[in-house]
Homo-oligomer: A and B are copies of this chain.
Amino acid sequence: MAKSSNKTVTRSRAPKPRIPATEGDDTTITALTLPPEPLSPEMAAYFKKCEEKLGFVPNVLQAYAFDSAKLSAFAAMYNDLMLALSGLSKLEREMIAVAVSSHNRCYYCLVAHGAAVRALSGDPALGELIAMNYRAARLSPRERAMLDFAVKLSAEPWRVEEEDRAALRRVGFSDRDIWDIGAVAGFFNMSNRIASATDMRPNSVYHGQAR
């Protein structure tokens, strides 16, 4: 039934061998050439800890490594937001990261934090769903309200008003939680843009993690 009879069409070309999509991603991390400086002792220790714990240093940290002051400030903020005590679970914070990065279509952050959602939830499809369209996921009212706020804040921050905060409170979020939702969403609106500004590439190892 689907046979084309058009004689003018040349045969479908066999797929040519392609350069792998991740080629160079672990060695040429950004499109900028930034002369490296030696890591500060504090940051050298931090990189070592990453290698021990994750098996690699996330490319975003390597991208910042040309300047220890910038690297240190970024790492401090990241670790506080994503790892410190919060009324939001680590998975919830990663879900915000992915939903915001999906709005901004940020390749680096979708790959790295999509892997984190898969790992923390133990549910590979959940990572896909949040990366593709969080509205299609079967979320709890709490999760849905959280992501609605984060994505509206990303898309139209000028329209976020008291009613938006009230919607968060209605599903049980405290004022401190609201701060954290706003701060995590804000942080990835920053990171997404630094990644896009520099064509930052994710470590290739993320792709296969927690599938």
A70-126 contacts to B, CB under 8 A, are 70, 72-80, 83-91, 102, 104-107, 110-111, 120-121, 123-126
Among B21, B104, B186, the residue within 8 A (CB) of A197 is: B186
Shortest CB-to-CB span from A74 to chain B, Å, is 7
For A120-160 the 0/1 string (1 means CB < 8 A from B) is: 11011110110111011110000000000100011001111
The interface size bin for chain A is: 35 or more
The residue on B at minimum CB distance from A107 is: B136
| B197–A160 touching, CB < 8 Å | yes
Majority SS at the chain A contact face: helix
Q: A158-B135, A186-B191 are in contact. Are A129 and B4 (CB under 8 A)?
A: no
Q: A: which residues have CB within 8 A of B?
A: 1-15, 18-23, 31-35, 37, 66-70, 72-80, 83-91, 102, 104-107, 110-111, 120-121, 123-126, 128-129, 131-133, 135-138, 149, 153-154, 157-162, 165, 175-176, 178-179, 181-183, 185-187, 189-194, 196-199, 204, 207-208, 211
Q: Can you name 18 A-B pairs with beta carbons within 8 Å?
A: A1-B69, A2-B84, A15-B90, A15-B121, A18-B123, A21-B126, A23-B138, A31-B162, A32-B176, A74-B77, A135-B159, A135-B161, A157-B197, A165-B197, A165-B199, A186-B193, A189-B193, A211-B211
